[in-house]
Every structure is written in C-alpha cells, then in structure tokens.
Amino acid sequence: MFHSKIAGVGHYVPDRVVTNQELTNYMETSDAWIQERTGIKERRFFEEGVDTVSGMAANASKMALEKAGIEIKEIEMIVFATLSPDYAFPGSGVLLQRILGLPGIPALDIRQQCAGFIYAVSVADQFIKSGTYKTILVVGSEIQSNIMEISDRGRNMSVIFGDGAGAVVLQQTSDPDKGILSTHIHADGTFAEELMLEHPGSKRKERFNNEMAAKGELLPVMNGQLVFKHAVQRFPEVIKEALDANRLSTADIDLLIPHQANLRIAEYIQKNLGLRDDQVFNNIQKYGNTTAASIPLALSEAFIEGRIKEGDLICMAAFGSGFVWGSALVRW
C-alpha cells in the first residue's frame, strides 16, 4: 500500500501591498469596519503585466520543489486549484505545465473555490495511493482583485479577497505513519447561488449584452451571513470527521490550518473545538482571503516560521462556494 507525503511546500505573493487605508481611497469603507468583521489588515494585489495566476503558481511551485529537493522533471502530474484561471478555458494547469516545461504530463484543474486545495490534495493522494504516480505538484493560485470591483458597488466582497499562490509537492512513501493520513471531501449544491460569479457562464436567460455589464452582473455575489452560518458548522464537522477516521482527538492536533476565509470564522472554529492559540495558524491579516491559495500559503509560512516540526499532526480544512468543504490530516 502506498501513501503520499508532503515533500515540500512553497508560496508566492505579489509585491503590491494594499492596506485597508488604501481601499478607503476607492470606496466608502474603513480600516475599523474591515478589521472588526474579517481581521484583515492588508492584502496583495497582482501587478499588471507582471503577475498571472499560472506565473504565480510557477513561482510557488519552484519554491516547493526546492524545499523538497526535487527537480522539475520528476513531476508526473499537476493538479491546479483556482477560481480565477488565466483564461475561461483552457485551465491554468496546462499553462503551468508549459511554464515548467513538462509537455505530456497530465494537468488537471480543480474548480472547488475555497475548498479547491483540499480537493486537489485529495485527488492527488488517490493517484499516489493507487500507484499511478510517485510525484504530483498540487497548486492553488488566485488573482481575485481583477474579478471584483474595487468600488462602493463591489465593497462587500473586494475588501475580503486577495491575490497569492501556494504549492506542495506530494510524493509517494511506503511509511504508513507519515504523510497524508486521510482526506474528506463534501459538497451541497443546494447553496450554489449563495456565493458565485455567474459570468462567463452558459446558464443565462438571454444572450450576454453590455447592459448586464453596466448593471454589475459581471461581479461575484455573496450572501455573507449565510456563508458564515454554514462555514462555522461545516468546519468543525469535517475536522472531527478526519480526527475520528484516524482515532485521534482535537488534543492531538499540533497545528490547524483553516482556509483563511475570515478571522472571525477561524476564531469561532478554534473556540468550538477548544484549541489553544498555538494550535491554530492564521495569516489572513496580511493576505486577505486568497481562496484556493490560502491553505498552501499558510502552510508554507507556518513551515518557514518553525511552527511545523517532524512528527506533528497537521489538520487542514476548508469551506467555500458550492457549497464545498473538506479536510486533510497529515503526519509531518
């Protein structure tokens, strides 16, 4: 029986820091409003002509490969999670494959929004467990500041989301006590329209026209309070599911890395599960919600800061648009 381990983790964020104060130049908002409701102090915005979703993913991937001591040519598959691909189609996986110079290997895009990275890890883990591949690059990368309106009209969402990328290299191991212990993924499409970006989509009552753009129909929409309600239920549920599946308890968690949705959600989960501050890692204060990139970006920073040691039990969990949610338990 094969298992997969995280051999290396990396991240990349654009240079441009956008503080809450800067946002007040573009919309009616305040540092106090944003911090009180989300915990976010600043985020990164991509640099036009410099950063692309696939390019940022390549930078994060190169760091992950370097940390793993693995050469690019050893990668046998790419699994790429994003809700903001370079193009509507084809997906960003093939673009990353092109940048890395790996023609022929499979590149799969995952469209599970904030739970995209957990789904991507779960898919990659199955390919490794089955013995199909030994080394898989799993990436989450987002440029969301380009699909939201940095204005009064878009302020309910655009203050929350940011740009960034994170990547892990998954590698086959025969040590059953190390690496990914299990992954757990779920979905409930009942709530698909509660957090969504309709365009460019094919489900329209009428053909796309300029009036729709003028009315702001090109912007994502979010029922924030409903998302909050479901997130605080699903996160603890799916974390407990992972612990139960491995006969472990919350006391065994060395570090929980929740998807960086909103600091208030993370704090609620921490309280609900009775976790100490040192058992939870958050960096949303610096980057905002980077959707599919948020978990590998947090994992990479936690690793660099020395918060992850060999033998630690790491729990990653996410909830997002779909609704979709999931968890992954890793023995480092």
Residues taking part in catalysis? 114, 259, 289
Cβ atoms of 4 and 129 within 8 Å: the answer is yes
Q: Please pick, from the candidates 17, 29, 62, 106, the single residue that binds ligand ACO as defined by CB under 6 A.
A: 29
Q: Which two tokens stand for residue 173?
A: 């191991």
228 contributes a contact to ligand ACO by CB under 6 A: yes
Stretch that binds ligand ACO, among 92-100, 139-147, 219-227, 233-241 (CB under 6 A): 219-227
Stretch that binds ligand ACO, among 3-11, 32-40, 41-49, 129-137 (CB under 6 A): 32-40
269 contributes a contact to ligand ACO by CB under 6 A: no
DSSP three-state, residue 285: helix
The maximal CA–CA distance of the chain, rounded, in angstroms, is 59
User: H helices then E strands: how many in the chain?
Assistant: 11, 13
Residues in CB range of 53: below 8 A, 6 or more apart: 82, 84, 85, 86, 92, 141, 142, 143, 165
* String of contacts with ligand ACO for each residue 114-153, x by CB under 6 A: x---------------------------------------
Closest CB 33 distance from ligand ACO, rounded Å: 4
168 contributes a contact to ligand ACO by CB under 6 A: no
DSSP characters over 151-207: STTTHHHHTTB--EEEEEEEEEES-TTSEEEEEEEEE-GGGGGGEE--SS-S--SS-
Q: Please pick, from the candidates 4, 11, 18, 38, the single residue that binds ligand ACO as defined by CB under 6 A.
A: 38
Give CA–CA dist 9/12, Å, rounded. Answer: 11
Is beta strand 324-331 parallel, antiparallel or unpaired with respect to 313-320?
Answer: antiparallel
261 contributes a contact to ligand ACO by CB under 6 A: yes
Closest CB 76 distance from ligand ACO, rounded Å: 31
Residues that bind ligand ACO (CB under 6 A): 29, 33, 37-38, 114, 155-156, 159-160, 195, 222, 224-225, 227-228, 231, 261-262, 264-265, 289, 319-320
